[in-house]
Structures are given as structure tokens and as C-alpha cells.
Chains A and B, each alone.
Chain A
């Protein structure tokens, strides 16, 4: 059982996936249905770990093969206490009426692997037991205890299997010895450290019932002491490389490639080994998140700006100082902020302290603009935002925009919080909770127990809306060539009889094209981040973001034309890049425009995408380094790369079999081009053509 492909062409987990959960809940339904949600969650986790098969293969360097032999279909069972009231259903679905969406986006987590390796899972057990002395019978603490016992039993089965396989696997003895130590006691060697990390990493999606985007954090930092120690004790670099190779093979077998390995900004011998593995294996997973500080030497960038890596959309570059500044802006104390880890597609996270709902909300900024321009009414949806007056100038337009944003985001926030409440009540996760501060101390689930519960808010269509405001300001307020009503009717009709107006909109200032166009985007960004962040309460942080993945295609397909000239159904702008209405884009202009946005206030993540030809990477590497450093120094959080040509992708469309190895950057992670939907493929091709100046 290898790849499962959904209708979207997204790769699902293979070694372990939703089938395991469905099997367990179906087979043990009657018993599970009698339990409370917390106890049930622990019991499901225990049954899932028991149902896993374990197998040591001949070439294994550590015990990695945990899997479930499934025989679907398994019916999806609903427990009788998992009832959503009519009132709650209305609340949680309300954003859809205006084109926004909310979800409690599970997974997207990083355990505190440094703590795990230094202390073992026993340290968590001790803390749970300590809390139980003060609160005996606390259901969450007991569930946490049960979860750890399940992990212990699984590790013991793995150790026994390794012992039985001593003849077939040369390293079985070492592996069995390692499993005697980890994950419950501190790691003593590189092999033990990787074993412990892998086991916990594997179990996190099992516990969350969400099989994607679980990251490793600062691998080259927390694994380095064990690497050094093992080298001193006789391990060779090649042995370490074999261990990492196995880790990479496992990740590509089972993940959707949104798992991130963080390296830097101080690059050591292990960082270099990881980069070497990434180059040699040239697989989609994991994402290599390369942190670049001003002090990072050029030698590190020389390794990272590499044709093999770039053709696979690797690495993602993160600005060290910019990310710290973003966390400080969020309200994280400096000492913690300096220890951040990058996570999944765009996270700036604190390992072991956060619950990251990375797509917690998609906010339709197009809806906000339509309401602002049209006295609260949307053009194609039966929604009216109250209290929005007529706009007569740019100031009143921004005021109306802010009012519409406040109203529509309040609906989203209420929806998200209702969802989160339901998840905490009916879908708790004792295993992830025990690994997340401060859940043990608070004796509660990760939703309200995590120090930081982040709901990322993707501001979908923000750039298009800003360009729309620029067009209105230019053509209505300044030049008085059209009225608001005329522009609105043209937009409503998809510019069918308004080619002339559309031509004039095309000539208006746009983000990514000029400082004048950028100014509108900066203003809109400031308004949105203020409105969004004001809803923070308790441990819940709403994190503004301009990270779209390729959802800009999907959301654009569902929305009508825009005041920026975007035709109905066309993609919205991708990430923090300009819209497709901007005909020519060069990297320096893109960088200057994106760096002008208040990125530190969009601490939910804000990448730009740069595509480089093979010639550029081979012959002008230093110039690419200059681009990267300059962008990050100017406050850029994140920079994603590709090395593609439109010609290559068109060839792949015609001949998929002949291009099976073509990997592209899909939003925050790399994926095989053949696995994209047709609309996503065409969007990639079009954007590349624009960058190449062929449109």
C-alpha cells in the first residue's frame, strides 16, 4: 500500500492513514461509544497503536516500518455524543455565505524534540504523575497516561521484533538496544536520537487523525550533539548518511511532502550532510527550510543555491531576523522567539508550545471590497454588511473597507471558535496534548491548553482587492472618468461590454509594478492585520497570512470578476506576489514590493515565489544569493524557489509519462507536477509565461 490519491491529486499518507482510525472506530464502536470523548480518544489511540504492524527490513538503520494492513472500505462512524446543535451549525457555516471558510486545521505541529531527546518520554510521564497526585482521577491526565503506556507497548513490540530479526537485519541488535533506551529515556547516540524522533513523529498524525504537515523542527541543531558524539565513538559519516536516507525514504512513503526540516542559521556538519541528502535523493519530501541570518556565511548559501535543489522547489529560505521580529510583534517573549522553528509550508512556530491551525480561516477579501464599494452589498452573494455608507473618496473607501472587514471577520472568528470548541469537546488528542506546553499543567486538551493556539487567517485576494481600490481611486475619484455604479456594473457583468473600462483599469497602478501601486496594498494590509489581530483572546491568536498554496486557483474559480480587472473565475494573486493582471514581473520589483508590506505583522506566513532558469543558477549563482539576502534583510519572511520553464511544463502536460520526475513547488511544498489538477497545471504555466515575459 503506497500512495493513495484523492480526486484532487493530493497524495495521502500511505503507511498509516485514515483507514486505521476508521477500522478501529468501526470494530470497537460499541465499547468506544460508551466512553467520554477524552477517554475514548486515549482508547482509540491505544487500539490504533496495537493494530499497527511492525516490520524490520534488511537494510534498516532504525526501526521505521510501522504500518496498517487495511482492507477498506470501513464505514465512518459517529459517536452518539458528537452532536452539533442547529445553533452551532449555523454559526460554524456562516462564513461560507460571503465566500470565507473556517476549519480547525489539525496536524501542523512540531514536538519539542530537543526536550524529548534530552529527557525521554519518561519526563512527561513524571509530570503527569505529579499532576495526578494533586488531581487524582483527572480525565485528561489519565488519558495522557494511557497514551504513553500505548507508546511504551508499541516500542516494546518493535524491540522484540528487532530481537527476532537479528539474523536478517545486520543492525537489528543495535536497533533493539536503541529501543531499550528510547523513546522513554534520553538518547545516547545519533541512531537512538533519530529512532526516538521518528517514532514520535509517526504517532503524531495517528493521534491527531490528520496525516499531513507535521514537521521536525531544528533538526541540525538538536541532532547535532548526538551526531558529534557518535562520530567520536566510531560511527562514520556514511553510516549517518544511511540513517538519514532511511528517514527520507520513510517520509516520502507516508507524507504529503509538507513536512519541514529546519536547518540553520548556524550551519554545521550535520546541516551540510542534510543538504547533501536532499540533493542526492531529489525527492519531494521533506521541505528543507533554510534559515538565513545576516551572519550566515556565503558558504552555506553556496550549498543551498543549487540547480538540483531548485528544480525540485527546494529549499524554502527564511529570514532569521524577520521571523524573530514577527514573533515579537505577535507578543512572544524574546527568549522564546529566538528559539523558533519553521513549520510545514510557512509556519514560524515554537516547538512543543503551539497548536497551529494553519488554514484556520480563509478570509475573502474580495467580499470585503465588494461590500465596501456597494453600501454593504456583495455582487453575487445574498449578503449585506450593515452600516456601510456611500463612498465618495479614498478615505471613505478605506473606512468602508475597514467596516466591512470588521463585520465579516467577526463572523469568521465566531465560526472558528465554535469549531475549536467542538474539536476540544469531541475530538481531543491526549497524546499531542501531553507533548504541548502547558496542557499537562492545565490538565486540558491542546486546543485551550497550548501556550499558543494559532488560527492562521489567509487573506485570499488581498492583492487583487488593493489593486481594485487603486483602480477605483484612479478612475472614479481622481480622473472622474467613471462612477462607482458604472465600475460595479462592469465588474458584475465580467467586463462583457466594458472592454474600454478594463483597458483603463489595466493602466492603473498595481502592486508589484510601482511604488504608487504598492501603497494601496500596504494600506489594505495594515487594515486587515489590525482587524484580524484584535480578536485575540486567551491562548488564541489570529495570525494574518498571505500564504495561498495553490488555493488562489480554487478560490478564484469560485468568484466573479474584480475591480482590478481580474476576469471571473481567474486565479487570485499567489502568496505575496502580484496578480496575473501585472504583465511583466522582474524579481527585484517583486522583492521591493513584497518587502514594503508589513510582513512582521503577517506572522501567519508570507512567502514570495521566484523562478530561476537553469542558466541563471549555473552561471549567475551569486546574483541569486544577492536577491535572497537582500529580500530577507529588507524584512522578507520567506522565499520559495523553482527552476522551471513554461516549455518544460507544457511538455509535461502533453507527455506525463515522460515527465514523471518533474517536481514543482506547490505553495509551500514540493509535489510531482503530474499530481496537480489541470487547473493548477495551467496556472503554473501561465504564471511562468508571465515571468518569462512571453505574455
Chain B
């Protein structure tokens, strides 16, 4: 089984319990304006160019033509996205098995949207399960129940995005249907799958009390939900927009005091644990 990814990152500590390796899938059905992995949106391979790193050596021209792949000694030109097999992913992932075993860690599929390539996601998760590796999937929930069920069979934990709870705003921001998100969450609940609600805080978009209250209502009425995790917006990914030749989002990260206030607001309205990711 093959699929398209754009990265495999080791020692991830914000993508589930313990020390994890995160496999980043390429391709996403959404177009969130705050996305910090813009290179994950398209399923196709894309060129990122960082002009400040380019020394004009010309190696990219010669070597790339010869070898059919992009080579840049300075890392100024990066071809994002590669086709890999399940075996290739597992060869990389299983290297850190001792770290998973010692600290309750494992593998997380993220992206992009793993459920955009459900068969590939399932194959990796199945292989991890066979080797005794804990699995987690980070998803926006925009998928069908068949794909979700096929992946859920081998998933120990879902990191479920709650980006916006107002349907009209959700459509305007992401281009997708919020009802699909709620159906997916409900489906996971009926399967009894452990879920962590992952809630980005995006000033100017979803920083409203109605939204926070709705998050709490969802957490309180969905038995599967273990906790709420907040992800304050950060600007670390903005350089990638420029490298892709698209406009950067003009979003200011929330102030620390505001994040603390939101944490307290949510904590007062739910019995479930509320913390930062």
C-alpha cells in the first residue's frame, strides 16, 4: 500500500500521549486560513522556495535534471511530498519502539488529513497494532463513516479538531460542512473510541464565548471525550506560505493572558480536563 506524506517527525510531544512519531499525510479537504502546514493542503508534490537561503550555485538545475529529483545543498528549494509504502513508513516508525514502550507513546497520523487517504492510513495503523505500537489519528472529521470505521478499527485515540462550532462560520472559513464533523464525532462515540477534542484558538475567527460554550457542551454530552486541548495560534508556519508563493495569514497569536482566561472559562463549564496541547 502506498500513500503521499510530507514528513515523518520523531519525538513529538504534542500529538498524543508519551513520546510519539507523527506521520504527516499530504492532502486535506479543508482550506483553513490559519493552517500552519499550508504545504499539507494539496495532495500533489509542491515546491517550496526560500530565496534567502539560495546562493545561486546552480546545483538544483544540473542535478535535478539528471536525477529526476530536486537537490539543493542549501535547503533553499524543497520538494514537499513523497510517495511511500507502508513498509517504508514502518521502517522509520519502529526505530523508536523502545521510547514508545517506556513512556506510553506511539505513532500519530496527522497532516493534512489522514482520512483523505483512508486505505493507506488503515494499513499503517494495522501494522502498528500488529507490532504493539499505540496509535492515534488527528482528524478534522470531514470524511464518511465507512472510511472512519476502517481506520478506527486500529486506532487507540482520536485527536478530533473542533475548529469552529457555528455551521455558517465553519463553511466560510474551511469550505466544508460542519454537520459532517458532528456526524463523525458521534460515530466515534458510538464506537466507544477515546477522543481528545483539539480546539485551535484563532483570534478574529473563533475567539467567542459562544464557541467555547459549545465546545464544553460537546465535551459534556459526548462520553468518549477524555479531555479538551487548546492550541493557541502560532505564526511559526508563516514562512511556508511565502515559500509556496501564497499570501500569509494576517493573524496575531493570542496573548498569554487570553489563553489562560479561555482555559479557566472552559474549565468552569465542564468536568472534563482542559489543558493546552
A-to-B contact residues, CB < 8 Å: 499-500, 502-504, 506-507, 515, 583, 586-589, 592, 616, 619-620, 622-623, 625-627, 629-630, 633-634, 695
Contact = CB atoms under 8 A, between A and B. Distances in A.
A507 B95 CA distance: 21
Given A503-B72, A589-B95, 8 more contacts: A503-B63, A515-B95, A586-B9, A623-B18, A623-B19, A626-B19, A626-B102, A633-B98
A586 B13 contact: no
Interface string B62-80: 1100000001110100000
A629 B102 contact: yes
Contacts of A695: 75
B11 interface: yes
A589 B98 CA distance: 12
B96 interface: yes
Contact of B11 (A502, A583, A586): A586
B73 A499 contact: yes
Given A503-B71, A507-B71, A589-B10, A627 B99 contact: yes
Interface string B4-43: 0000011101000011000000000000000000000000
Contacts of B96: 588, 592
A215 to B, nearest CB: 31
Q: Which 4 pairs show the lowest CB-CB distances between chains A and B?
A: A626-B103, A503-B73, A499-B57, A586-B10
B250 to A, nearest CB: 23
B59 interface: yes
B58 interface: yes
A286 B276 CA distance: 36
A627 B71 CA distance: 33
Contact of A626 (B18, B62, B63): B18
A634 B98 contact: yes
A630 B75 contact: no
A616 B13 contact: yes
A503 B276 CA distance: 41
Contacts of B98: 630, 633-634
B71 A588 contact: no
A500 B63 contact: yes
Interface of B: 9-11, 13, 18-19, 55, 57-59, 62-63, 71-73, 75, 95-96, 98-99, 102-103, 105, 276
B59 A500 contact: yes
A592 to B, nearest CB: 6
A503 B59 contact: yes
Contacts of A622: 103
A151 B102 CA distance: 52
30 contacts: A499-B55, A499-B73, A500-B58, A500-B59, A502-B59, A502-B73, A503-B72, A504-B71, A583-B75, A586-B10, A586-B11, A587-B10, A588-B10, A588-B11, A589-B10, A589-B95, A592-B95, A619-B276, A620-B13, A623-B18, A623-B19, A625-B103, A626-B18, A626-B102, A629-B102, A630-B98, A630-B99, A630-B102, A633-B98, A695-B75
B149 to A, nearest CB: 32
Given A586-B10, A586-B11, A504 B99 contact: no
A411 B241 CA distance: 57
Nearest to B58: A499
Contacts of A592: 95-96
Contacts of B73: 499, 502-503, 506
Interface centre among A503, A504, A629 (most CB of B within 10 A): A503
Contact of A499 (B9, B10, B59, B105): B59
A620 B13 CA distance: 7
A592 B96 CA distance: 8
A502 B62 CA distance: 13
Nearest to B13: A620
Nearest to B60: A503
A71 B18 CA distance: 60
A502 B57 CA distance: 11
Given A504-B63, A623-B103, A587 B95 contact: no
A587 B11 CA distance: 7
B17 to A, nearest CB: 10
Contacts of B105: 623, 626
A528 B175 CA distance: 61
A587 B10 CA distance: 8
Contacts of B63: 500, 503-504
A467 B105 CA distance: 31
Contacts of B102: 626, 629-630
A623 B102 CA distance: 9
Interface centre among B11, B18, B62 (most CB of A within 10 A): B11
A586 B98 CA distance: 15
A588 B59 contact: no
Nearest to B9: A586
Given A622-B103, A623-B103, A629-B102, A500 B62 contact: yes
Contacts of A500: 57-59, 62-63
Contacts of A616: 13
Nearest to B71: A503
A480 to B, nearest CB: 14
Interface centre among B57, B63, B103 (most CB of A within 10 A): B103
Contacts of A506: 73
Nearest to B19: A623
B183 to A, nearest CB: 33
A661 B180 CA distance: 54
A627 B19 contact: yes
B104 to A, nearest CB: 9
Contacts of B95: 515, 588-589, 592
A507 B66 CA distance: 15
Contacts of A620: 13
B75 to A, nearest CB: 6
B21 to A, nearest CB: 8
A70 B247 CA distance: 67
A691 to B, nearest CB: 11
A503 B105 CA distance: 36
Interface centre among A500, A587, A592, A627 (most CB of B within 10 A): A500
Contacts of A583: 75
A290 to B, nearest CB: 18
A500 to B, nearest CB: 5
B258 to A, nearest CB: 18
B213 to A, nearest CB: 26
B57 to A, nearest CB: 4
A588 B72 contact: no
B114 to A, nearest CB: 21
A545 to B, nearest CB: 26
Contact of A588 (B58, B62, B75, B99): B99
Nearest to B62: A500
B277 to A, nearest CB: 10
Contacts of A627: 11, 19, 99
B257 to A, nearest CB: 17
Contacts of A504: 63, 71
B22 to A, nearest CB: 11
Contacts of B59: 499-500, 502-503
Interface centre among B18, B63, B73 (most CB of A within 10 A): B73
Contacts of A587: 10-11
Contacts of B58: 499-500
A171 B149 CA distance: 76
A533 B93 CA distance: 37
Contacts of A634: 98
Nearest to A622: B103
B13 A588 contact: no
A633 B101 CA distance: 13
A500 B64 CA distance: 11
Nearest to B59: A503
A616 to B, nearest CB: 7
Contacts of A629: 102
Contacts of A625: 103
Interface centre among B9, B10, B276 (most CB of A within 10 A): B10
Contacts of A626: 18-19, 99, 102-103, 105
Contacts of B11: 586-588, 627
